[in-house]
Amino acid sequence: METPVRVVLVDDHPMVRAGLSAMLAPFARRVRVVGQAGDVTTALELVTGLSPDVALVDVRMGTASGLDLCRTLAALPVPPRVVLLSVYDDEQYVYEALRAGASGYLLKRVDGEELVRRLEEVMGGETVVDVTLAGRIAASAARLHRGEFWPGAHLGLTQRESEVLSLLVAGLSNRAIADRLVLGQETVKSHLRALYRKLDVTDRAAAVTVALRDGMFR
């Protein structure tokens, strides 16, 4: 066993910090919490002062974004590895996180043993992503290979229909949709009819309901 991983916790909830500390306490020989911060400024002071191995950062700290902090930390002369913690199991966030320079993206459902193992993996140079997310990312990658990448493809919508639907959800009229997509409104009506048939609805309001409930758009 090597020297323990030195970790700084960054989260605006005292509760979460206490939870992390408590969870990591039994593994003190492998992971050592050397500091805690509840906001971005003290987090920066702490990291520059202590030069920890890893900063364990919440992605959503009230108003401030953990992603921004991640970028800031990654730009330091002696950057720590940054592992982001989140409750959002959304693929998109993972991409942003890794692009922001994070070495890991874990969900808050992890337990102590798992967390310690992941932190050690990060120290070994690996990039760790929560397993459930990793699975989904793999699945969506597979979909990409099959060519299904626009929202609604799983319902048999064509790309164009998906575009029309997104504007419909945005509240645009047929005329406005036509202008936006540089089409005649008759064309838009054609797409809408196909859309209604595939979504099994009879009007635009119901189509919006189906689309939003399905999670195709936000």
CA 28 from centre of chain: 29
Footprint of a second copy on residues 102-121 (CB under 8 A)? 108-112
Say which entry of DNA, a second copy, none residue 161 contacts (CB below 5 to 8 A, set by partner kind).
Answer: DNA
Q: Is 83:102 a contact under the CB 8 Å cutoff? A: yes
Q: Is 32 in the site for DNA (CB under 7 A)?
A: no
Residues whose CB falls within 8 Å of the CB of residue 205, separated by 6 or more in sequence, listed in order: none
User: 88, 93, 196, 217: which one contacts DNA (CB under 7 A)?
Assistant: 196
Q: Is 28 in the site for a second copy (CB under 8 A)?
A: no
Closest to a second copy by CB, 150 or 196: 196
Question: DSSP string spanning 145-188?
Answer: HHT--STTGGGT--HHHHHHHHHHHTT--HHHHHHHHT--HHHH
How far is residue 125's CA from residue 128's CA, in Å, rounded to a whole number?
9
DSSP 8-class letter at 142: H
Q: Is 209 in the site for DNA (CB under 7 A)?
A: no
Measured from the CB of residue 205, what is the shortest distance to DNA in angstroms?
7
Footprint of DNA on residues 52-111 (CB under 7 A)? none
Q: Is 191 in the site for a second copy (CB under 8 A)?
A: no
How far is residue 83's CA from residue 98's CA, in Å, rounded to a whole number?
10
User: 46, 115, 204, 210: which one contacts DNA (CB under 7 A)?
Assistant: 204
Q: Six-digit token pair at 192? A: 């809408």
Q: Is 187 in the site for DNA (CB under 7 A)?
A: yes
Q: Is 36 in the site for DNA (CB under 7 A)?
A: no
How far is residue 110's CA from residue 145's CA, in Å, rounded to a whole number?
31
Footprint of a second copy on residues 45-74 (CB under 8 A)? 60, 62
CB-count burial class (<10 Å; 0-12, 13-18, 19+) for 84: buried
Q: What track of x and - describes contact with DNA for positions 125 through 144 (by CB under 7 A)?
A: --------------------
Q: Is 15 in the site for a second copy (CB under 8 A)?
A: yes
Q: Six-digit token pair at 69? A: 């902090």
- For binding to DNA (CB under 7 A), which residues are involved? 146, 156, 158-161, 173-175, 178, 181, 183-187, 189-193, 196, 202-204
- For binding to a second copy (CB under 8 A), which residues are involved? 12-23, 60, 62, 87, 108-112, 168-171, 173, 201-209, 212-213, 218
